[in-house]
Amino acid sequence: MAEFSPTVNPPSAPVLETSLWRVRLRLFMRSLRTNFGLFAENPIGLVGIGIILFFLSFTIIHPLLMKYVWDPVMFDPVVGYDMTIPFHPAPPSEVHLLGTDPLGRDVLSQLMWSTRSEFILGLVTALVTVLIATTIGALAAYFGGVLDTLFMRLADIVIMMPYITILIVVSALFDLQLIHLAIILGLLGGLGGTTIIIKSQALTIKVRTYIEAARVAGGGDWHIILNHIIPNLLPLSFLYMMFSVNGAIASEAVLSFFGLLNIRMSWGLMIYTASYSGYLLDFQKWWLIFPASVSISMLCAAFYLVGRALDEIVNPRLRKR
Amino acid sequence: MRRYLLSRLAQNLLTFFLFLTVVYILMDAQPGDFGNLYLSDPRLTPQQRQALRANLGLDKPVLERYFIWLGQALRGDFGISFSNYPRLVLDVIAERAPRTIILFLSAVILSYFIGFLAGKILAWKRGGWGEYAATIGGVGLYTIFLPWFALMMVWFWGYTLKLFPIGKFLDPVLWRTAPVNANYVFYRMLITAFIASVVMFIWLLYARRLDPAKRLPASWIGVGVVFLAVIGYWLSTGVGRFAADIFHHLTLPILTLATANFAGTMLLTRNSMLETIREDYIMAARAKGLPEKVIRDKHASRNAMLPVVTAFVLAVAFILDGGVITETIFSWPGMGLTLLNAALVEDIPMVIGALVFTGILALTGHLLADILYAVMDPRIRYS
């Protein structure tokens, strides 16, 4: 990296009153405040944040409930059983607020326990997707040539794949666990559509004047990519994290619903349990299917809403005038 | 234009080969192979096992096996399905594929048509709680857990209202005395639908050139005549009620898929319209004093259509995925259900055959959508 030579630095440079990191922090806080103001203008984003926080609170409440309120044996989400009730699935009661499933386990406990794995799945998928997409997008846009052609053709191929179908086949051939699924989904997302979008954004950044300025000042390729292109891509990357979380949760739910994943408990698996016990169309026993389905739909919708609200910040053309 | 299409075609062929390679890698990477099937049988001597492996071609190097498999796949030879023994995989696919294609095609056309209309109107009515309600409703439908949504549709329309059958392809009680088999009737239905849509399309193209005052009645009369002709033809064949039975079973899956998919198109159209409205030519149209409806339908929406078509190009594979779920819930015996059932009982030849076929369908869909895109956007044709 060709650093700018420090010899031209005048010895009598004025001493900065505040240190550089403070200035940066203040700038960062200010932009955060403006952006949050923009975000808060739009109620749909706040609704999304609210729903996400609601589900996030489950991950904290559940261990506490297990420790202080619920009997840890009876309320275990995987191996629990309530012996005081003669027939399962039992309707909601004071002990079991959402009833029990056909195997005698508490539905609310399952629902709350699964939330954590949904968040882990979503987070890992989103991180893998965005890490790959941002790196490839920035490199392909900056260097162009063979690298660009290779990855863009690859992306063209990946977006054509019917990926639930492929995941069904993969889970039939291999023993899939949650973390494998997260990585596969992240790879499919990161090499596919997200890369194309991030690369096209990187192309518009590459031709800006401050990139020229950085190059004239002697900045090397990696310096420009790391310090100028990637930081400007991050808002868009963050936006696509939201959308990939939403896709990951939905895919996991569908695969578990078909009984194809090797996991202990998840929302999709709760519906699968109801399905193989023969309660799939028995809407009288709504507590078997509705809580899990509503949770899946609501959490997906929440991430999507937040994504849309962020879209209006990142993409100013959509803003209301 | 020709160069664009040729390059697209070449790219699609290349993609198809890569897809086949990926499928082969998946198949080869699975733990164990068919040579290990009788491993637990103590009577099998090592020599016999060796002979079994040699018979199955498993002793050959990977690359050779790959090329053998590729050759067979290209000839459409995927072996015999275990779960449909002794039928060939290709035979099963040939029977089930049209059912998937018809379901998927009708749902896609319906959802994009409704979604585009709805998004257009939504963008024009900016602000207020109506917009938030439509957005949240749209997002809700877009992100809803599809199996649950399909179940609710079955419960509501099939179980509570009893308007539609709960699932399956046909009603066995009715078909017990049928003079012909289901595939015969279904293929006839496909041919009729194809001819009817071609005739209707040509008529609508013709009607567009008529006097503006006559345009609307003329197109409606044309559509009505085609409908009457189709109904008349089926009444005259004598198997009309069997066709009606299949159609009756087909309606609810199509409605479900279309409802679940239209919201995405609606939201996208709205966004695209909002960007188009800011263009200068919209202001020019307003300045000319054109009515709002003309500005919306002729100036804004036609330009806003391009991203929607792009999304359509990208969505082909996803809608096929949705088809798997819908087919499973409705027990519609198409490719998706076949693939899932084969996957659950580890009928590997059937799984691979169905996966390759789904890949072909997705690729063909992409190619058609690309051609459509080139027809609609001159910038693509001439670059």
Q: What is the pLDDT of residue A1?
A: 43
Residue reference for tokens 């998004």? B119
CB contact (8 A) between residue A308 and residue B139: yes
Q: What is the pLDDT of residue B219?
A: 85
- Strand partners of residue A106: A100
In angstroms, the separation between the Cα of residue B52 and the nearest Cα of chain A is 22
Among the listed residues B272, B273, B263, B270, the one whose alpha carbon sits nearest the alpha carbon of residue B138: B263
- Tell me which chain A residues have a C-beta less than 8 angstroms from the C-beta of B342: 172
Q: Please indicate whether residue B362 or residue B282 has the higher confidence score (pLDDT).
A: B282
**Does B271 contact chain A (CB < 8 Å)?**
yes
Is pLDDT at A189 greater than 70 in this prediction?
Answer: yes
Share of chain B above pLDDT 70, in %: 97
Return the residue of B nearest to A176 by Cα.
Answer: B30
CB contact (8 A) between residue B145 and residue A293: yes
Return the residue of A nearest to B320 by Cα.
Answer: A162
Q: What is the pLDDT of residue A40?
A: 80
Which of residues 316 through 355 in chain B touch A, CB cutoff 8 A? 316-318, 320-321, 324-325, 328, 336, 339-340, 342-344, 346, 348, 351-352, 355
Q: Which of A2-11, A176-185, B245-254, B371-380 has the lowest mean pLDDT?
A: A2-11
Burial (CB < 10 A; 0-12, 13-18, 19+), residue A166, is buried
CB-based contact B268:B308 (threshold 8 Å): yes
In angstroms, the separation between the Cα of residue A272 and the nearest Cα of chain B is 11
Burial (CB < 10 A; 0-12, 13-18, 19+), residue B205, is exposed
- Strand partners of residue A62: none
Cβ of B188: how many Cβ atoms within 10 Å?
Answer: 17
Average pLDDT in the A77-103 region? 88
Average pLDDT in the B102-106 region? 85
Nearest to A173 among B26, B127, B147 (CB): B26
Is pLDDT at A5 greater than 60 in this prediction?
Answer: no
Q: Please indicate whether residue A266 or residue B379 has the higher confidence score (pLDDT).
A: A266
Share of chain A above pLDDT 70, in %: 93
> How wide is the angle at C-alpha A123 spanned by C-alphas A117 and A129, nearest 5°?
135
CB contact (8 A) between residue B143 and residue A163: no
CB-based contact B146:A254 (threshold 8 Å): yes
Return the residue of A nearest to B152 by Cα.
Answer: A281
DSSP string covering A128-165: HHHHHHHHHHHHHHHH-HHHHHHHHHHHHHHHHS-HHH
Is pLDDT at B242 greater than 60 in this prediction?
Answer: yes
Nearest to B343 among A162, A172, A300 (CB): A172
Is pLDDT at B196 greater than 80 in this prediction?
Answer: yes
Nearest to A193 among B11, B314, B348 (CB): B314
Average pLDDT in the A263-281 region? 89
Question: For chain B, what is the mean pLDDT?
Answer: 85
Q: What is the pLDDT of residue A2?
A: 46
Torsion angle defined by CA atoms of residues A63, A69, A72 and A74, in that order, rounded to the nearest 10 degrees: -130
Cβ of B372: how many Cβ atoms within 10 Å?
Answer: 13
Q: Which of A12-26, A232-246, B174-188 has the lowest mean pLDDT?
A: A12-26
Is pLDDT at A318 greater than 90 in this prediction?
Answer: no
Average pLDDT in the B265-292 region? 88
CB contact (8 A) between residue B317 and residue A168: no
Return the residue of B nearest to A296 by Cα.
Answer: B145
User: What's the rounded Cα separation, in Å, for the pair B73 and B349?
Assistant: 11
Half-sphere exposure (Cβ direction) of B267: Cα atoms closer than 13 Å: 20
CB contact (8 A) between residue A44 and residue B132: yes
CB contact (8 A) between residue B145 and residue A165: no
Q: What is the pLDDT of residue B232?
A: 92
In angstroms, the separation between the Cα of residue B220 and the nearest Cα of chain A is 37
Q: What is the pLDDT of residue A44?
A: 80
User: What's the rounded Cα separation, in Å, for the pair B214 and B281?
Assistant: 29
Q: Which of B145, B156, B252 to mutate to test the interface with A (most CBs of A within 10 A)?
A: B145
Is pLDDT at A16 greater than 70 in this prediction?
Answer: no
- Tell me which chain B residues have a C-beta less than 8 angstroms from the C-beta of A260: 343-344
**Does B276 contact chain A (CB < 8 Å)?**
no
State how far the alpha carbon of A33 is from the alpha carbons of A39, A320, B40, B259, B264, in Å: 10, 19, 67, 39, 31
Is pLDDT at B364 greater than 90 in this prediction?
Answer: no
CB-based contact B307:B268 (threshold 8 Å): yes
User: What's the rounded Cα separation, in Å, for the pair B185 and B170?
Assistant: 11
State how far the alpha carbon of B18 is from the alpha carbons of A156, B23, B24, B94, B319, in Å: 12, 9, 10, 23, 22
Q: Please indicate whether residue B315 or residue B355 has the higher confidence score (pLDDT).
A: B355
User: What's the rounded Cα separation, in Å, for the pair B328 and B148?
Assistant: 12
Q: Which of B11, B13, B104, B139 to mutate to test the interface with A (most CBs of A within 10 A)?
A: B139
Q: Which of A55, A150, A154, A160 to mutate to test the interface with B (most CBs of B within 10 A)?
A: A160
- Tell me which chain B residues have a C-beta less than 8 angstroms from the C-beta of A258: 328, 340, 344
CB contact (8 A) between residue A253 and residue B126: no
CB contact (8 A) between residue A304 and residue B362: no
Cβ of A234: how many Cβ atoms within 10 Å?
Answer: 11
Average pLDDT in the B359-376 region? 80
Give B50-68 pLDDT, tens digit per residue.
Answer: 888 888 888 888 889 899 9
Is pLDDT at A18 greater than 80 in this prediction?
Answer: no
User: What's the rounded Cα separation, in Å, for the pair B212 and B221?
Assistant: 15
The tokens for A176 are 């899939």
Among the listed residues B294, B276, B259, B260, the one whose alpha carbon sits nearest the alpha carbon of residue B123: B276
Give A150-168 pLDDT, tens digit per residue.
Answer: 888 888 778 777 788 888 8
Share of chain B above pLDDT 90, in %: 14
Backbone angles phi, psi at A100, to 5 degrees: -120, 160
In angstroms, the separation between the Cα of residue B238 and the nearest Cα of chain A is 36
Among the listed residues B329, B354, B344, the one whose alpha carbon sits nearest the alpha carbon of residue B260: B329
Is pLDDT at A182 greater than 90 in this prediction?
Answer: yes
CB contact (8 A) between residue B362 and residue A47: no
Q: What is the pLDDT of residue B380?
A: 66
| Helix (H/G/I), strand (E/B), else coil: A33 | helix
Which DSSP category does A4 fall into?
A: P
Question: For chain A, what is the mean pLDDT?
Answer: 86
Is pLDDT at A3 greater than 50 in this prediction?
Answer: no
CB contact (8 A) between residue B355 and residue A166: yes
Is pLDDT at B139 greater than 50 in this prediction?
Answer: yes
Q: Please indicate whether residue A269 or residue B376 has the higher confidence score (pLDDT).
A: A269
Give B322-349 pLDDT, tens digit per residue.
Answer: 778 889 889 998 888 998 888 888 888 8
Is pLDDT at B274 greater than 70 in this prediction?
Answer: yes
Q: What is the pLDDT of residue A303?
A: 93
Q: What is the pLDDT of residue B224?
A: 92
Give A43-63 pLDDT, tens digit per residue.
Answer: 888 889 999 999 999 999 999
Cβ of A60: how many Cβ atoms within 10 Å?
Answer: 12
In angstroms, the separation between the Cα of residue A311 and the nearest Cα of chain B is 11
In angstroms, the separation between the Cα of residue A172 and the nearest Cα of chain B is 5
- Tell me which chain B residues have a C-beta less than 8 angstroms from the C-beta of A168: 324, 339-340, 343
DSSP string covering B228-265: HHHHHHHHHHS-HHHHHHHHHHHHHHHHHHHHHHHHHH
> How does residue A321 score in pLDDT terms, banded at 50, 70 and 90?
very low
Average pLDDT in the B199-228 region? 86
Is pLDDT at B298 greater than 60 in this prediction?
Answer: yes
CB-based contact A299:B255 (threshold 8 Å): no
In angstroms, the separation between the Cα of residue A224 and the nearest Cα of chain B is 31
State how far the alpha carbon of A228 is from the alpha carbons of A190, A205, A221, B118, in Å: 21, 9, 10, 41
Nearest to A281 among B155, B344, B358 (CB): B155
Q: Which of A51, A168, A243, A311 to mutate to test the interface with B (most CBs of B within 10 A)?
A: A168
Q: Which of A42, A163, A165 to mutate to test the interface with B (most CBs of B within 10 A)?
A: A165
> How wide is the angle at C-alpha B22 spanned by C-alphas B18 and B24, nearest 5°?
115
Q: What residues have CB less than 8 Å from B21, skipping those under 6 apart?
A: B66
- Positive/negative CA dihedral, B205, B206, B209, B210: negative
- Tell me which chain B residues have a C-beta less than 8 angstroms from the C-beta of A163: 317, 321
- Alpha-helical runs (H) found in chain A: 20-41, 43-64, 107-143, 145-160, 163-173, 178-191, 193-206, 209-216, 221-224, 230-257, 267-276, 286-314
Which of residues 140 through 179 in chain B touch A, CB cutoff 8 A? 140, 142-148, 151, 154-155, 159, 166
- Tell me which chain B residues have a C-beta less than 8 angstroms from the C-beta of A170: 26
pTM value surpassing 0.90:
no
Return the residue of B nearest to A193 by Cα.
Answer: B314
Share of chain A above pLDDT 90, in %: 33
Residue reference for tokens 């998840």? A266
Give A199-233 pLDDT, tens digit per residue.
Answer: 888 888 888 898 889 999 988 899 999 988 998 88
- Alpha-helical runs (H) found in B31-181: 46-56, 62-74, 89-124, 128-143, 146-153, 172-175
